[in-house]
Each structure stands twice: as structure tokens, then as C-alpha cells.
Chain A
């Protein structure tokens, strides 16, 4: 039982490059989330998904796209990376319809140069 797994753990991109961050959970959770963490800014919600095939914008969705491929997987795509997207990205999942915690992946440290 791995929980929430993110890949890669580290990535350096050049401005304008694209990439996809992968996230998978094995806890049979319906809800999944993508956050970015910047110094002094806390965890800001980029996108979230209630179930397979549904996604909704969070606080800072601009410059990102997401795909909820199936119940387990929720990917985050940067189409044209910018230095402002340098951050640590966390994927999380939780049960829907219950007062339960969100479980986080180990994070992806992304640097855009």
C-alpha cells in the first residue's frame, strides 16, 4: 500500500518546455488535488477532481491543465513552462463525502530556468 505516489521527484525545465507530472493513489479515493507550495504562500490549490472524468479549477489554475485518467491517476501538465512556475508540487487524495484527511504525495520539486 504505497498511498499517493508522484513522479518525478525533481525536474529542471527550460522556459517554454512542456511536461506532465504524474500522480497515482491506491487508496480507492474519489477526490484528488494538485497544489503548489511556494515560500510564504502556503499550499495553493491548482485543480481538483471529484471523480474520473471531472475536474475543477482551484485558486491558481492559469498555465496548467489536468487529466483525471481513471480513479487512480490524476496528472498535471505544464504546456509552456515559465520561471513563475518554479515551485514544489504536491498531489493529494481524499475520500469524498466524509470528514477525512487528505493524503499527500512526496512532492515534485520543479525548477524552470
Chain B
């Protein structure tokens, strides 16, 4: 079945440094790759996403890259700030079809920003 692997499970970086979280997916029909941020005690919320026809997308300090051939996608956060501390989830999804499909999430990365 579909599977999404996410690494690392925990990540600690110095404030101002960059953080990178990596995911791989197994379903070659997946075409939509969102990233969610979950702050402590709150619900996950979308921070950035990428479609399979795009190799890279950037939004201010965050960017996502996709390698369809290798079935890899990554989240990059530059100039990290204390408010970036949270759990981050990647997901893979078959989107754009007429019927619902599973949204499969990775196991999450707990990012801590050291002052």
C-alpha cells in the first residue's frame, strides 16, 4: 500500500540556521505533496504544498523541492526563528481526481530552534 517515510524524527538547529526535512513516497500516482505544521496542542495546518508538475516552490523563508524520479520531496526552512519550533508533517496525495483518495502522512519531525 501507500507509504510515506519522513526523516529525521527530531531536529535541533541554532536560530538563524537552516533546517531540512526529507520525505519519500511509494505511490507513483501521488501528484500533490503538502506540508503541515503542528504547534504544541494545536491542529495541523498547511504551510506549503507542491504539485508533481513543479520541481520547486518557495514562500518567503520556506521552500519545497520535489524529485519525482526518486520519489523524494523536501522542506527547507532558512533563517530559522523561535516560532518555527513545531512538528512538521509531509503528506502524499492523489489529487485532482473525481473521487477522494487517501492522504497519507509521514511520521513527523519535531523541530526545535535553539536560541
Binding site for B on A (CB under 8 A): 30-31, 33, 35, 40-45, 48-51, 56, 58-59, 90, 92, 94, 96-102, 104-107
Q: Give the interface centre of A50, A58, A99 by most chain B CB atoms within 10 Å.
A: A99
Number of interface residues of B (CB under 8 A): 27
Q: Are the C-beta atoms of A30 and B100 separated by less than 8 Å?
A: yes
Interface of B, helix, strand, loop or mixed by DSSP: loop
Q: Are the C-beta atoms of B34 and A59 separated by less than 8 Å?
A: no
Binding site for A on B (CB under 8 A): 1, 6, 9, 31-32, 34, 42-46, 49, 51, 89, 95-100, 102-108
Contact partner of B97 (CB less than 8 A), chosen from A97, A100, A102, is A97
Q: Bound complex: CA of A99 vs CA of B32, how far in Å? A: 7
| Closest CB in chain A relative to B50 CB, distance in Å | 9
Q: Bound complex: CA of A5 vs CA of B43, how far in Å? A: 11
| Closest CB in chain B relative to A104 CB, distance in Å | 4
B residues near A43, Cβ cutoff 8 Å: 44, 89, 105, 108
Q: Are the C-beta atoms of A35 and B105 separated by less than 8 Å?
A: yes
Q: Are the C-beta atoms of A49 and B100 separated by less than 8 Å?
A: yes
9 contacts between A and B (CB under 8 A): A40-B108, A45-B102, A48-B103, A92-B103, A94-B103, A98-B95, A104-B44, A105-B43, A106-B43
Q: Are the C-beta atoms of B44 and A90 separated by less than 8 Å?
A: yes
A residues near B45, Cβ cutoff 8 Å: 104
Q: What residue of chain B has the Cβ atom nearest to residue A101's Cβ? A: B46
B residues near A100, Cβ cutoff 8 Å: 95
